[in-house]
Structure 1
Amino acid sequence: MKKDKIIFWVATLIIFLFEGVMPAFTSQTEMAKEGLRHLGYPEYFGNALVVFKILGVLVLVIPKAPKNVKEWAYAGFGFDFIFASISYICVEGFNFLAVFPLFFLGILAVSYIYYHKISKTVNA
């Protein structure tokens, strides 16, 4: 059980840092805005995305958050990573930037799997 919790929290904290902290501090930089424009998205889309990312990571790290809300947060991040990869493939072709979000999708999957492992042992 302790190993499962450690794996869950390491994976979840990586998602927290990558999807919550980094966007919160860098979303208004010119580089981030140019990245969105380059992919064909309007600036307001980036602002909305950052708000939902911050809310999503808070749901993932707050232990008492309702389970169905956590499921939606996991799904939202899954869609985010998949569509980020698709966006890069459509604009720039298949390269490192297209694969990079899929790496974090894998980390998200680890967090999700271990979240359910921990939930089963707590409820049993």
Structure 2
Amino acid sequence: MKSLKTIYWISTGLVVLGMLASVINYTFNPALKIAFAHIGFPDWFRVELSIAKLFGAIALGIPVIPARVKEWAYFGFFVNFFSAFLAHFFVHDPVFNLIAPLLLLSLVLVSYISFHKLNNLKK
């Protein structure tokens, strides 16, 4: 159980830190306006995505948030990273741009699976 908690908190902590870094990057890095335009997304989507990532990071990072809210955050991150992979793939971006969202997706999946295992142990 202790190792499962460790896996959960490390993976979740990395997801939360990554999303907070992403929020800062999306908000203050002007190069991302160009990157979003390259993929074909409007600039407002960058702003909307950063707000959603902030709410998702808060939902996963605060232990007292209800499990149902965390489920939606996990779902949102899954859709986000899988969609990022597809978006980069269809505009023929370099391999790094394809691998990064998949690595983040796998980190979200580790957090999600360990979250559910921990919740099932509590029941």
Partner of 1:119: 119
Structure 1: how far apart are the matches of 2:16 and 2:52? 12
Q: Secondary structure at the match of 1:64?
A: coil
**Take 2:33 and 2:102, find their aligned partners in 1: how far apart are those partners?**
22
For the residues of structure 1 that align with 2:93 and 2:3, how far apart are their CA atoms? 39
* Aligned residues between the structures: 122
Letter in 1 for 2:121: T
Q: Which amino acid aligns with 2:11?
A: A
Partner of 2:66: 66
Alpha-carbon distance between aligned partners in 1 of 2:102 and 2:9, rounded to the nearest angstrom = 19
Q: What is the TM-score of this pair, normalised by structure 1? A: 0.92
Provide the alpha-carbon RMSD of the alignment.
Answer: 1.2
- The amino acid that maps onto 1:60 is L
> Deviation string for 1:11-44 (max 9, x for gaps)?
011111111x212322131111111111111111
Identical amino acids, percent of aligned pairs: 33
Unpaired segments ≥5 residues, structure 1: none
Give the TM-score normalised by structure 2. Answer: 0.93
User: Which is further off, 40-49 or 28-37?
Assistant: 28-37
1:35 has 2:35 as partner: yes
User: Structure 2: which 5+ runs fail to align?
Assistant: none
